[in-house]
Structure 1
Amino acid sequence: MRGLWCGLVLAVLVGLVAVGAPPKDTLVIGARTDIIVDLDPARTYEVFTNLVIEQYYDALVNITVENGEVVARPGLAEAWEVSEDGMTWTFHLRRGAKFHSGNEVTADAVVYSFHRSLALNFAPIWILSQYVPEPEMVQKVDDYTVTITTTEPVAELIIASVVGFQGICSIVDPEVVEAHATADDPWANQWLKENDAGSGPFILREWSPNERIVLERFDDYWRGPAMVKRIVIQDIPEPAAQKLALDKGDIDIAWDLLPEQVDMYRGDPNFKVIEVPGWSIEYLAMNAGRPPFDSELVRDAIRWAVDYDAIIYGIQKGAAVPGQTFIPA
């Protein structure tokens, strides 16, 4: 099952004015946060964690979905091109983008960030190292130009998806990171596990594990200030508890509702259901090296026996589409 959708339910604030309702300059999200164990972008891997750090870090490229298609849009890099052999990508940085410290985002920061991720070599590094395994493959040309050389020719959407991956390829402020480095921890991993060295639209102000995350608007963000001053992500692990909090007006967004719960809000003028394509893929794995799954006929029989419509419309309530490949269209 490819392209599982992310369904959110938002309370229309005007219709939920009540005692204890959150102030309108603060967006309160109910979500399961116990899956967040580390906020160092070089180590974050899980989807929700990366969605959180995306609020206070930037990448060279923004990967988004438009009209059902995955596309690359400018991020900290406002333009890029590839060499004739398809192996050297040149990224031109926008001028004036600032880190939360006030330092400018330059080529030095980009090179430092990639070198840092490669040096730390945490689990997500394969996303980068499968194409860019060595630090010297990321080079500064001038203050606003960086080249990234791959081991083989790579399609634009693939390299954009790599350098746009929030986490392993998020850009950190070298000055801030180095200020918190130690002899035993030269890349300041312990400090970055729960602190912020980014340039994104929000600043990380608090992370209380299994309780809440607080983000505060960064007014000097290069795209302009965000619409809300604060985001509070409240730990509410159970979908039923999220629904109750949403109904009471204690939260503005319920992140983890079940498909049947989302359906309850359709047509209700006090709530808005937002559904966007997600990155999840649900699949049935078969070991093709062992009988009976070593037979293509058996695998085909299982494939044809699956009632895809029952899964999509019965279980997922229409929030999924069938897929034939793991490769983005």
Structure 2
Amino acid sequence: MKMGKKHLISLVTVLSISLSLLAGCSQQGGGTDKGESEEKGKDSLVVATMSETPTLGAYDHNSVAGDYMNKLTYSTLFRTDADLNPEPSLVDTYENTSDTEWLFHLKQGVKFHDGSELTAEDVAASITYSKTCPEVNLYNRCILTVEAVDNYTVKIVTDGPSATLLYDLCHHANAILPKKLLDSGNDFNENPIGSGPFQFVEWKRGDSVEFKAFEDYFGGAPAIKSMTWKIIPEGSSRTIALEAGEVDMIIEVEAMDVERIESSDEFTLLKHDSTNINWLMLNNEKPGLDNQNVRHAINSAINRDDIIAAALNGIATPVYSASPMGMLGSTDEGADTFDVKKAQEYMDASGVDPASVEMSIICSNDTKKRAAEVIQANLSEIGINCEIESMDLATYLSATADGNYTASIGGYSPSDMVSYLVGVYHSKSIGGANTTRLNDPEVDALIDQAAATVDPAAREVILKQATVRLNELCSQVSLYQSVLLRAYDSDLQGVAINAGGHIRFEDISWKA
């Protein structure tokens, strides 16, 4: 039995117009022209990315930057398709034999990077171990037991009917690792051995991560034989590196450079609506921010349109609800809108002196910093003074997970609504993705009920109730839903993304 999901996600739009390349020297040094780029060979790829992964392991993070790396080196039982529905990956066939029992029959002959064969024992050992890891175990907590029935059959028993199991099995939290390496205490951050399409070669901290094609990949050897991910935090520097031929693809395109990239037929700009929702996270345990009326005042005082104009060059959609638009159960019912007068009324009703509210908005990139500057100006209108603090992604993730912050710009890329609500709002995710540290029994109960409701229509009703309650609590301030932007050399083919932002690099090649 394969479960579906309701989506309102637009099709990919690919834009490419003719004009001459912008000239100039690269801020990364040593600019090259198009001809020199081609001399690198038609089987190598250099990718520019904004943030450095906090780890190469699969179970000790919950970051998008880490997920990019994990998708290269590890495989999972399922993966998300173009519409974000789960489809078999390591699994050949499967059966839902009862409300709580699943049988998964694995593809045979799958190899790990060390040459050993992937079996059901590896699956059982991996998921069992992942369940002990607090950073990611929200993606397998519904699993009571996982066992190897034979070499190629895995039985999973859940703690009740599960609407999310197949989606969870797509997540890097359930990546399959060699049992013998898990048993020996292998450091997967230093030695990330999996069965993915690419093998790890070298990580130069602060600079780059290098991979090579895994020729025995069960999906077929990738056409790209050598791939380097260059860490370039500054947006315009990534654009310059693409123009100079130093990189072939940009993962996070600087929104202010979109027209510039579109103006050249040397490059292709790919746009895709996403499920990625971005917020102003508020630590609900901090004085002032623990007051619901103060949070509503902040929510009502913030002008989303100004944030999108200043931070994203107008390329995003404002969001007011606590849950992403276009997903099952999303609603604006009970959500605040931009209304400075109403914000002041909320502030007055709170009984809190706005000057006493301490807020330092931490940001991990330039886009977030630009958004924070707009928020800073907005909140000054109701007497709340904010500071803006920049920090690297790893430090940012640690601070927000541990609750060592007051406010921060963050985001989440869900594949389904239940997993999103569990990760962002359930009390069991405090210390993980529930960075506001919300602990509301009613919200927890509704999320748990939705997770156990297999029928989509019935689940939608419960999810809407949960969203209305979250809009009432206003634990954080939703800001906008992103448009995914990817730019790449027009001689590349096979580049495609889904609404979660995933690119299958094993499908990419250079035109002959």
Q: TM-score range by the shorter chain?
A: 0.7 to 0.9
Structure 1 residue aligned with 2:166: 160
**What's the secondary structure of 1:260's corresponding residue?**
helix
Asked if structure 1 preserves the Cα contact closer than 8 Å seen for 2:101 and 2:156, the reply is yes
Pick one of 253, 256, 259 that aligns with 2:252: 256
Deviation of the 1:201 alpha carbon: 0.6
Asked if structure 1 preserves the Cα contact closer than 8 Å seen for 2:131 and 2:137, the reply is yes
Structure 2 residue aligned with 1:184: none
Structure 2 residue aligned with 1:55: 72
Specify every segment of 5 or more residues in structure 1 that has no aligned partner in the other structure, as ranges: 182-186
Tell me: CA distance 1:264–1:4, structure 2 relative to 1, closer, same or farther (3 Å).
farther
Asked if structure 2 preserves the Cα contact closer than 8 Å seen for 1:113 and 1:172, the reply is yes
Give runs of aligned pairs for residues 51-130 of structure 1, distance below 5 A: 51-66=68-83, 70-85=84-99, 87-119=100-132, 121-129=133-141
User: Is 1:200–2:218 an aligned residue pair?
Assistant: no
Structure 2 residue aligned with 1:28: 46
Asked if structure 1 preserves the Cα contact closer than 8 Å seen for 2:92 and 2:107, the reply is yes
Tell me: CA distance 1:7–1:257, structure 2 relative to 1, closer, same or farther (3 Å).
farther
Structure 2 Cα separation of the partners of residues 214 and 284 of structure 1: 34
Q: Which amino acid aligns with 1:78?
A: D
Using the size of structure 2 for normalisation, the TM-score is 0.52
- Listed one character per residue, the Cα deviations across residues 6-63 of structure 1 (whole Å, up to 9, x for unaligned) are 99999x9xx96233653321100112343x2321212132111111121111000002
Structure 2 Cα separation of the partners of residues 96 and 175 of structure 1: 17
Q: Which amino acid aligns with 2:106?
A: L
Structure 2 Cα separation of the partners of residues 47 and 202 of structure 1: 18
The structure richer in helix per residue is 2
User: Is 1:173–2:190 an aligned residue pair?
Assistant: no
Tell me: CA distance 1:293–1:199, structure 2 relative to 1, closer, same or farther (3 Å).
same
Q: Which amino acid aligns with 2:112?
A: F
Structure 1 Cα separation of the partners of residues 281 and 234 of structure 2: 28
Structure 1 residue aligned with 2:413: none
Structure 1 Cα separation of the partners of residues 14 and 249 of structure 2: 7
Structure 2 Cα separation of the partners of residues 105 and 319 of structure 1: 43
Asked if structure 1 preserves the Cα contact closer than 8 Å seen for 2:113 and 2:193, the reply is yes
Q: Which amino acid aligns with 1:146?
A: V
Is the deviation greater in 17-26 or in 36-45?
Answer: 17-26
Asked if structure 2 preserves the Cα contact closer than 8 Å seen for 1:33 and 1:209, the reply is no
Tell me: CA distance 1:142–1:318, structure 2 relative to 1, closer, same or farther (3 Å).
farther
Structure 2 Cα separation of the partners of residues 7 and 194 of structure 1: 38
Q: Which amino acid aligns with 2:293?
A: P
Tell me: CA distance 1:76–1:268, structure 2 relative to 1, closer, same or farther (3 Å).
same
**What's the secondary structure of 1:54's corresponding residue?**
helix
- Listed one character per residue, the Cα deviations across residues 81-137 of structure 1 (whole Å, up to 9, x for unaligned) are 32332x222212111211112222110110011122224x242222222x12x5xx1
Structure 2 Cα separation of the partners of residues 221 and 103 of structure 1: 12
**What's the secondary structure of 1:265's corresponding residue?**
helix
- Listed one character per residue, the Cα deviations across residues 195-220 of structure 1 (whole Å, up to 9, x for unaligned) are 12100111111112112111100111
**What's the secondary structure of 1:19's corresponding residue?**
helix
Asked if structure 2 preserves the Cα contact closer than 8 Å seen for 1:107 and 1:145, the reply is yes
Specify every segment of 5 or more residues in structure 2 that has no aligned partner in the other structure, as ranges: 1-7, 22-32, 328-415, 418-512
Tell me: CA distance 1:153–1:313, structure 2 relative to 1, closer, same or farther (3 Å).
farther
User: Is 1:274–2:279 an aligned residue pair?
Assistant: no
Give runs of aligned pairs for residues 301-316 of structure 1, distance below 5 A: 315-316=311-312
Structure 2 Cα separation of the partners of residues 46 and 6 of structure 1: 24
Structure 1 Cα separation of the partners of residues 174 and 292 of structure 2: 41
- Listed one character per residue, the Cα deviations across residues 122-158 of structure 1 (whole Å, up to 9, x for unaligned) are 42222222x12x5xx1111111111111112111xx1
CA RMSD of aligned residues (A): 3.4
Deviation of the 1:80 alpha carbon: 2.2
**What's the secondary structure of 1:282's corresponding residue?**
strand
Structure 2 Cα separation of the partners of residues 279 and 314 of structure 1: 21
Structure 1 Cα separation of the partners of residues 94 and 239 of structure 2: 44
Q: Which amino acid aligns with 1:292?
A: N
Structure 2 residue aligned with 1:241: 237
Structure 1 Cα separation of the partners of residues 277 and 202 of structure 2: 32
Asked if structure 1 preserves the Cα contact closer than 8 Å seen for 2:79 and 2:88, the reply is yes
Q: Which amino acid aligns with 1:159?
A: L
User: Is 1:290–2:291 an aligned residue pair?
Assistant: yes
Deviation of the 1:226 alpha carbon: 1.0
Using the size of structure 1 for normalisation, the TM-score is 0.78
Tell me: CA distance 1:170–1:278, structure 2 relative to 1, closer, same or farther (3 Å).
farther
**What's the secondary structure of 1:264's corresponding residue?**
helix
- Listed one character per residue, the Cα deviations across residues 209-249 of structure 1 (whole Å, up to 9, x for unaligned) are 11211110011111111121111011222112111111111
Tell me the matched-pair count.
Answer: 298
Q: Percent identity?
A: 24
